[in-house]
Amino acid sequence: MKRSYLIGVLVILAFSSLFIGVGQLNLEGLLTHNPQQWQLLWLSRIPRLVSIIVSGMSLSVAGLIMQQLTQNKFVEPTTAGTMEAGKLGVLVSMLIFTSASPLIKTAIAFIFALCGTIVFMQIMKRVKQKNSIFIPLVGIMFGSIIGSFTTFFAYKYDLIQNLNSFMQGDFSLIVSGQYELIYLSIPLLLIAYVFANRFTVAGMGESFARNLGANYQKIVNGGLLLVSLLSAVVLLSVGSIPFLGLIVPNLVSMYRGDHLQKSLPEIMILGAVFVLCCDIIGRLIIYPYELPIGMVVGVIGSGLFLYLIFWREKHGSA
């Protein structure tokens, strides 16, 4: 799909998203300067739309970077323990820094997400079976272990209700004043684009990167920092959204290839489009109620995950 088509779809979906919801919002009310309509637009619909677009872009790029660094098409933050480790960091911040600011909580979640990702990378190095499906299964099991610890201590300290909002992505509570943290992802996305060529080189393997004069370990460390930061920001802003970083990069690589700098714009746009589609479905399927975005993406994403497994097995891709 051409980039211009993707941008057109994104614009149409974004515009439609503003007018979907329990609160009635229409062009007539906006054009007549109805104060309630404009208040709904600025306090709820626009913050939600911005959060959807930036979250979709962030997790898609995080997934792409992880796939390059691990040389595995089925690794991303939710199949490498990154998100689960970040949730443990959120719990720790609730227990120790009860009145901490969102930035402090993000920093703690980032540290835990980074540590969890590093541990996964070390596990991956020691696993003899390098099958493309086996590695993410190990990551899912690793994340489940961390998640079990997180849930246990959340129950023990009566924080399970507080932690539930981070367990599954949900845009329904996004309003002005509670979403601005997501803007931290924008400079991180720009950094990812600037260093895209280096991640592409690292994706060719350590020996190849060293032959080109690249500092392989430095590139990997920088990539892990970016992935952990992006994951932590999205986790603290909207919660966990599964499979997104796996599905979008794989779909784009089918027709764009694996060169990061060339495919990164399409991946960001498609990530935003995919999350927007899922969010609109979640708002309409049981209207006037809505399904959390994590649930909708999880259901659709699991189906696409299976499709990608069979497609890559058929075409002999790693």
Cβ(193)–Cβ(264) below 8 Å:
yes
Q: Residue 114's pLDDT is what?
A: 93
Among 21-25, 52-56, 188-192, 239-243, where is mean pLDDT lowest?
Answer: 21-25
pLDDT interval class at 228 (50, 70, 90) = very high
pLDDT of 316 strictly over 70: no
DSSP 195: T
Q: What is the dihedral of CA 165, 105, 63, 283, to 10 degrees?
A: 30
pLDDT interval class at 243 (50, 70, 90) = confident
**How crowded is the C-beta side of 299, counted as CA atoms within 13 Å?**
9
> Which amino acid does the sequence have at 314?
K
pLDDT of 55 strictly over 80: yes
pLDDT of 133 strictly over 70: yes
Query: Each residue of 155-181: pLDDT tens digit?
Result: 888 888 777 766 778 888 888 887 888
Q: Residue 118's pLDDT is what?
A: 92
Over residues 217-242, mean pLDDT: 90
Among 99-103, 129-133, 155-159, where is mean pLDDT lowest?
Answer: 129-133
Q: Which two tokens stand for residue 29?
A: 């009310």
pLDDT interval class at 63 (50, 70, 90) = very high
257 to 124, 193, 264, 317: CA distances (angstroms): 24, 16, 11, 12
CA distance 235 to 228: 10
DSSP 42: I
Query: What crossing angle do the helices spanning 134-156 and 102-126 adopt, rounded to 10°?
Result: 140
CB atoms inside a 10 Å sphere around CB 188: 17
Mean pLDDT of all residues belonging to the chain = 86
Q: Residue 17's pLDDT is what?
A: 92
CA distance 76 to 62: 7
Q: Residue 57's pLDDT is what?
A: 95
188 to 91, 118, 123, 185, 199: CA distances (angstroms): 24, 19, 27, 5, 14
**Phi-psi sector, 81: left (phi>0), alpha (psi -120 to 50), beta:** left
Q: To which residue do tokens 């997934």 refer?
A: 63
Instruction: Please state whether the peptide bond connecting residue 35 to the residue before it is cis, i.e. omega within 30 degrees of 0.
Output: no
Residue scoring higher pLDDT (280 or 304): 280
Q: Which two tokens stand for residue 191?
A: 């950094």
Over residues 275-292, mean pLDDT: 90
Q: Residue 269's pLDDT is what?
A: 94
Q: Residue 227's pLDDT is what?
A: 93
Cβ(304)–Cβ(247) below 8 Å:
yes
